[in-house]
Amino acid sequence: MKRLFLCLLFLVVFQISGNAQSAYELPESVKKILFLGNSITWSGEYVDYIETYFRAVKPEYSLEFINAGLPSETVSGLSEPNHADGKFPRPDLHERLSRVLTAIEPDLVIACYGMNDGIYLPFDETRFGKFKEGIVWLHDEVVKQGIPIIHATPPVFDERKGAAYANVLDIYSDWLISKRYTSNWDVIDIHWPMRKYLEGKRLTDAAFVLAEDGVHPGSTGHWLMAKEILLFLGEQAVSSANSIEEALSSFQNVDKLLSLVSERQEILRNAWLTYIGHQRPGLPKGLPIDEAKEKVVAIDREIAELLN
């Protein structure tokens, strides 16, 4: 009976959270979009997909997508006692947010946190409270500078790697979704669509995974993230696409375009993180920011030629 109740509850929650997303109309003033998050954002594939789509379909927007994600980062300020085999504690967004916003001066922030914030332990009210406090702090710090912010729920954690932590991210995601109604926040739900996709695939392929390690999604998972963000931004044309290639099937040289965008993103991400500074060891050192911007000018010309 308990199992039946939980199944019904899941279906109700998904129907409420998954279908309630409405399109966000990008103001004309938005030219620079900053992505904040942990290693999933840092790896950048979903950001690459979003930029590739806008360059191909909406070039008139002239949007700049800046990835300032940082591996291992949290908004909760929590860290495991022996994180990274004791080499370093998890970096905390509190330490660098002010510098990020000052240096980049974004017109819009899209933030995706939660995966690391429960530090991979079963649900605990104190840890949950730290996550909520951190997200509210992030929201308020951005908004008080006159910058709109869109929150994204964390990607799904594969329950085969730990059912208890998968449940933690379910709870964290539902709380974020509730902020749409309790605080009038803009929230993109990527968690439940990813969970639905994963469970649907496993009905026919029991070995299917979105993330080999349960945390970091592969290309399919990153596309699911990008797709939900694009849908939230009003791009309904991607609703049935299973990949960026399908979404841009009417365009030639999509693979080349994506490759150029990815190269450009990596150069600028590394440059910005080095310029701003952070407390996460082991990352590649970026070029000086002016040199990085000059280097991507040639890539921009290649992209323009490809699209023309």
31-82 tens-digit pLDDT: 999 999 999 999 999 999 999 999 999 999 999 999 999 999 999 999 998 9
Domain assignment present for 126: yes
Domain assignment present for 22: no
Domain assignment present for 3: no
- Confidence check: pLDDT of 142 > 80: yes
Here the CATH number for the domain that contains residue 119 is: 3.40.50.1110
Q: What is the DSSP letter of 28?
A: T
The whole-number pLDDT of residue 22 equals: 62
Domain assignment present for 111: yes
92-137 tens-digit pLDDT: 999 999 999 999 999 999 999 999 999 999 999 999 999 999 999 9
Closest listed residue to residue 95, CA positions, set 112, 72, 118: 72
User: Model confidence at 16, in pLDDT bands (50, 70, 90)?
Assistant: very low
User: Model confidence at 198, in pLDDT bands (50, 70, 90)?
Assistant: very high
The whole-number pLDDT of residue 148 equals: 97
Q: At what angle do helices 219-232 and 191-202 cross, to 10 degrees?
A: 140
Tell me if residue 111 falls in helix, strand or coil: strand
Q: Domain count of the chain?
A: 1
